[in-house]
Amino acid sequence: MTDCLQCGGPIAPDARIGTRFCSAKCRYAYRDKSRVRTVEQRACLSCGNQFTPKRTNGRVCSSACRQRLYRHRAKRGEAGKLRAAIHEAGHAVCAFVMGVRLELVSVRHAGSTDGRVVRVRPARVVVHVTHAQVKRASALAARMFAYQEAVVLYGGRAGEIAFYGDHTGFGGDSRSLAELRTECAYRIVTWNKLLHRACVCAGAIVAKHKDAIEQLAQALVASRTGTLAGDEAERIFHQAAKLRRTK
């Protein structure tokens, strides 16, 4: 005779073979308990603050943020698309200045984002070095990578502030920054200093290349698919930079 999986009590001897519960009540209770899932903290799509959602698909931390996100989606027409294009163009221009190659730049609405930039993955190179050299090179590469990524992520926010005086939200970029910090395992003081330098650098890049951002944003809006290949976006950036130097 086996015991009930829910309460541990005995199962009736005349129960059919394979019965795991002593009653329907225990069967339903065990089923409901198995459906409970632990939900980890995530960044709010509206304000970017970390919160623990009550449901597995929770995206915002409060009803105020839910309303703000809804209004932002509702107002997304031509003006909203242009603003999203300015945001993504800010990311792209900061990436080009920092030496990051992009695969594509897009303002197509997908899931919880209004657009995205996708960087080109570097080719893998095999080099024979000592363990000490690897350790020093890895630490330096991690700092440079974190700084580059932070500048690129702050570029969208800086672009909106430069053209509109404010920004609509930092949710998706905030999530990427949180993942970046986890990946690089920075202490909070060191991380905050890096973010401050990256924010200042992104603002300076955007202020210097406003014409390139505007042209790239217009090209994104004019595109039938709302997407530009990374090479095409980089060509627009270099053309605008060349015109700026000749003025």
Over residues 75-85, the pLDDT tens digits come to 556 667 788 88
51/90 same-domain check: no
pLDDT tens digits for range 188-215: 667 888 888 999 999 999 999 999 999 9
10/44 same-domain check: no
Segment 25-49 mean pLDDT: 76
Provide the pLDDT for residue 178.
76
Provide the pLDDT for residue 131.
45
4/83 same-domain check: no
119/168 same-domain check: yes
24/50 same-domain check: no
Last residue of a domain, one of 23, 54, 74: 74
Provide the pLDDT for residue 123.
40
Provide the pLDDT for residue 207.
92
189/241 same-domain check: yes
Instruction: Report the percentage of the chain scoring pLDDT > 70.
Output: 76
Segment 101-123 mean pLDDT: 66
Domains in the chain, number? 3
199/104 same-domain check: yes
42/163 same-domain check: no
The better pLDDT of the pair 3, 77 is held by: 3
223/139 same-domain check: yes
29/113 same-domain check: no
SS (H, E, C) the chain: CCECCCCCCECCCCCCCCCCCCCHHHHHHHHHHHHCCCCCCEECCCCCCEECCCCCCCCCCCHHHHHHHHHHHHCCCHHHHHHHHHHHHHHHHHHHHCCCCEEEEECCCECCECCEEEECCCCCCCCCCCHHHHHHHHHHHHHHHHHHHHHHHHHHHHHHHHHHCCCCCCHHHHHHHHHHHHHHCCCHHHHHHHHHHHHHHHHHHHHHCHHHHHHHHHHHHHCCCCEEEHHHHHHHHHHHHHHHHHC
Q: Indicate which CATH number applies to the domain containing 145.
A: 1.20.58.760
186/66 same-domain check: no
Query: Mean pLDDT highest for which of 66-75, 182-191, 196-205?
Result: 196-205
pLDDT over 80 (residue 99): yes
172/222 same-domain check: yes
The residue segments making up the domain with residue 179 are 76-246
Last residue of a domain, one of 74, 100, 129: 74
Provide the pLDDT for residue 134.
46
